[in-house]
Amino acid sequence: MQKKFEEYAKLLVEIGVNIQKGQTLIINCPVDCAWFARLCAKAAYAAGCREVVMGWGDDQLNREKYLHADSDVFDAVPEWRVRFCTDYAREGAAFLFIGGSDPEALKGVEQDRLVRSSRASGKALEEYRQLQMSNAIPWCVGAIPVPSWAKKVFPGCPEEEAMEKLWNAILTSVRVDGSGSAVQRWKEHLDTLQVRINKLNELRLESLHYTNSLGTDLTIRLPEDHVWGGGDGVSKAGVHFIANMPTEEIFTAPLRDGIDGVVYSAMPLSLNGELVDKFHFAIKAGRIVEVHAEVGEEKLKAETALDEGASYFGEVALVPYDSPIRNQDLLFYNTLFDENAACHLAFGEAYPECIRGGESMTREELKAHGLNDSITHVDFMVGTADLRITGRTREGKEVAVFTDGNFAI
């Protein structure tokens, strides 16, 4: 296993954030997984990193804070934290987020505290968030198992076995097998994604129509100058990086007011430490007008009401049902993995790169091109084995984009 761990750390550092000589690397990691952060730091220094700066996280301490800290803590972000993120981002540092969390870490926490905290950090960290969303800085989100998460994914197994199984599932998803060929495999994977991206961009679709047996019947119009992307991004400094590992999706942005119909979730969603399941939205002229969920309805309603843009959509992503992640037939209870096992949508902020020239546009210009703006961005899975997506070109021609859950183009 040690070899696989080293290969994974190297992959995150060299292909994920693609660390450059003389560049600072910020690593966020659960404190229980410090050993893995050390492997990443080692790989970064070997590649010429200037300095590795750590940010530690801990589910249980975070939970204690939300349960017991003074109420006014959730209305402000201390200046030093704003400076930490923003200054490093301005300098062009790379950010590696290694996630590993109990999907229900914040269950039972007062909703109002979470909402206020999201609003406060959304506002205080706006510049940092914009630099990240517009790919100005290289960033990468990866994951590492922790026992609470592993036991959720493999409920019948003792802790040690569950951890081993989750490690294997993660490493399979990111194409690491210990042979040292992961970097090469990723290059091939990116090439495959690019072929599909090119095809979709050539179609110049006007809209997409989703239907499946869950009851989804949704029409999504796309901005005239939308661009499909996926795989890697290019930072302001011209360096390629991969924002999510794994990534199987090809995505673009919908026209902010161009969505109508009903969409049903295909998988549970771990939303800020709580599960939401069996939900659907009714959408009119882009806006979510009804939210229904069998599990976690209040949570979901609060998130879609975080700000005005939270009730509009920011992402349309296509993932074939037949993907290395889906083929493991596992529910990860973690969006990084589950969103790469099924077609998904996101409500909230759109990525500027989804419009031609969007990365250098102002917020107002992006809005004028039909892109949504919000302090949140929540992906949820809608893809099923019988999902059908029919595209319509600007000339009115119908094209089968997805049939039976897989690409038809």
Which lies closer to Zn ion via its Cβ, residue 102 or residue 249?
249
Which lies closer to Zn ion via its Cβ, residue 98 or residue 378?
378
Contact residue for Zn ion among 263, 271, 291, 346 (CB under 5 A): 346
* DSSP, res 16: I
Decide: is 315 part of the binding site for Zn ion (CB under 5 A): yes
Cβ within 8 Å of residue 370, ≥6 positions away: 223, 224, 253, 255, 256, 257, 258, 355
- Least Å distance, CB 383 to Zn ion, is 11
- Least Å distance, CB 217 to Zn ion, is 22
Region from 207-215, 219-227, 281-289, 346-354 binding Zn ion, contact rule CB under 5 A: 346-354
Decide: is 317 part of the binding site for Zn ion (CB under 5 A): yes
Which lies closer to Zn ion via its Cβ, residue 136 or residue 162?
136
- Least Å distance, CB 366 to Zn ion, is 16
Region from 28-36, 235-243, 290-298, 375-383 binding Zn ion, contact rule CB under 5 A: 375-383
- Least Å distance, CB 336 to Zn ion, is 10
Q: Which residues pair with 28 in a beta bridge?
A: 55, 97
Q: Which residues pair with 277 in a beta bridge?
A: 295
CB < 8 Å & 24+ apart, contacts of 119-122: 119/306, 119/307, 119/375, 120/74, 120/75, 120/76, 120/77, 121/77, 122/306, 122/307, 122/375, 122/376
Contact residue for Zn ion among 59, 102, 303, 379 (CB under 5 A): 379
Query: Under a CB-based contact definition with an 8 Å cutoff, are residues 233 and 240 in contact?
Result: yes
Region from 58-66, 299-307, 312-320, 362-370 binding Zn ion, contact rule CB under 5 A: 312-320
User: What gap in Å lies between CA 96 and CA 93, rounded to an integer?
Assistant: 10
Which lies closer to Zn ion via its Cβ, residue 131 or residue 133?
133
Rg (CA), the chain: 20
Question: Tokens 């070997």 appear where?
Answer: 46
**Site for Zn ion, rule CB under 5 A:** 249, 251, 315, 317, 346, 379
